[in-house]
Structure 1
Amino acid sequence: MSTILVVDDDDQLRISFQKLLTEEGYTATGAASGEAGLESVRENLPDLVILDFQLPGINGLETFKAIHGIEPRLPVIMMTAYGTTETAIEATKMGAFDYVLKPFEVPDMLKLIRQGLEAGRFMRSPVDMNGAPGRTLNEALIGRSRAMQEVYKAIGRVAPTDATVLIRGESGTGKELVARAIYQHSMRQNRPFLVINCVAIPDTLLESELFGYEKGAFTGAVHRRVGKIEQAHGGTVFLDEIGDMPFSLQSKMLRLLQEKSIERLGGRDTIPTDVRIIAATNRDLEKAIRDGRFREDLYYRLKVVTVWLPPLSGRAGDIPLLSEYFLARYAAEEGMDNPGITERAGALLTGYPWPGNVRELSNVIRKALIFNRGAPLFPEDIALAVSEKGSPGGGPEAENLEDVIRQLVRRELSARADENLFDTCMDQFAKVLISEALNLTSGNRSRAARLLGLSRPTLHSRIEKYKIELHTSVKGQKK
Structure 2
Amino acid sequence: MADLIQIVVIDDNVRSLELLSAALDRDGIQIHTASSPEVGLELVRKLRPRLVITDLVMPRLSGLEVLDRVMMTDPAIDVILMTAHYTTETAVEAIRNGAADYLEKPVQLSLLRDRVNRLLETAQRRQSALNADASRPDVVKFEGLIARSPLMWDIFARLQRVAPHYRSLLINGQTGSGKDLLAQALHRLSGVKGRFVVLNCSAVVETLFESELFGHVRGSFTGADRDKTGLFELADQGTLFLDEIGDMPMSTQAKLLRAVQNQEITRVGSLDCRRVNVRIIAATHKNLPSAIRDKVFREDLYYRLSMVEIVAPSLQERMEDLPLLVRHFVQRFSEEYGKPIHGIAPRAMILLERYTWPGNVRELEHAIGHACMMATGDRIDVPDLPERMVQACKSWLGHPDGIFEMPATSHAEFNLSNDPGGSKLAAHESQLIARALSEAGGNQSQAARRLGIGRDAFRYKLKKYSLERQVDDFGLRN
The answer to whether the 8 A contact 1:172-1:360 is kept is: yes
Q: Equivalents in 1 of 2:251, 2:407: separation in Å?
A: 56
Percent of residue pairs identical: 42
The answer to whether the 8 A contact 1:165-1:306 is kept is: yes
Mapping of 1:60-459 within 5 angstroms? 140-188=144-192, 190-382=193-385, 385=386, 387-388=387-388, 390=389, 392=391, 401=395, 435-436=401-402, 438-439=404-405
Q: Equivalents in 2 of 1:138, 1:340: separation in Å?
A: 24
Residues 223 and 443 from structure 1, CA distance in 2 versus in 1: closer, same or farther, beyond 3 angstroms? closer
CA positional deviation for 1:336: 2.3
Cα deviations by residue, 1:85-124 (Å, 9 ceiling, x for unpaired):
xxxxxxxxxxxxxxxxxxxxxxxxxxxxxxxxxxxxxxxx
Q: Equivalents in 2 of 1:251, 1:440: separation in Å?
A: 59
Residues 224 and 378 from structure 1, CA distance in 2 versus in 1: closer, same or farther, beyond 3 angstroms? closer
Counting matched residue pairs gives 275
The answer to whether the 8 A contact 2:246-2:284 is kept is: yes
The answer to whether the 8 A contact 1:233-1:274 is kept is: yes
CA positional deviation for 1:157: 1.1
Give the SS at the match of 1:165: strand
Bigger Rg over Cα: 1
CA positional deviation for 1:378: 2.0
Cα deviations by residue, 1:115-164 (Å, 9 ceiling, x for unpaired):
xxxxxxxxxxxxxx99xxxx999993222111101111111112222431
Q: TM-score, normalised by structure 2?
A: 0.53
The answer to whether the 8 A contact 1:210-1:227 is kept is: yes
Structure 1, unpaired ranges of 5+:
1-128, 406-428, 445-479
Residues 372 and 248 from structure 1, CA distance in 2 versus in 1: closer, same or farther, beyond 3 angstroms? same
Q: Equivalents in 1 of 2:373, 2:311: separation in Å?
A: 33
- Please say which of residues 233-242 and 342-351 is displaced more in the overlay: 342-351
The answer to whether the 8 A contact 2:264-2:276 is kept is: yes
Amino acid at match of 1:144: R
Amino acid at match of 1:173: S
Give the SS at the match of 2:370: helix
Cα deviations by residue, 1:195-254 (Å, 9 ceiling, x for unpaired):
100011211222111111123211122333221111221111111000111110001110
Q: Give every structure 1 segment of 4 or more consecutive aligned residues whose post-TM-superposition deviation is greater than 3 Å.
A: 135-140, 435-438, 440-444
Q: Equivalents in 1 of 2:144, 2:290: separation in Å?
A: 32
Give the SS at the match of 1:278: strand
Amino acid at match of 2:350: A
Cα deviations by residue, 1:340-386 (Å, 9 ceiling, x for unpaired):
0122222221121111100011111111111013432223433xx2x
Residues 439 and 222 from structure 1, CA distance in 2 versus in 1: closer, same or farther, beyond 3 angstroms? same
Q: TM-score, normalised by structure 1?
A: 0.53
The answer to whether the 8 A contact 1:379-1:441 is kept is: no
Cα deviations by residue, 1:284-330 (Å, 9 ceiling, x for unpaired):
10110000000000000001111111100111111111111111111
Q: Equivalents in 1 of 2:190, 2:226: separation in Å?
A: 35
**2:110 aligned partner:** none
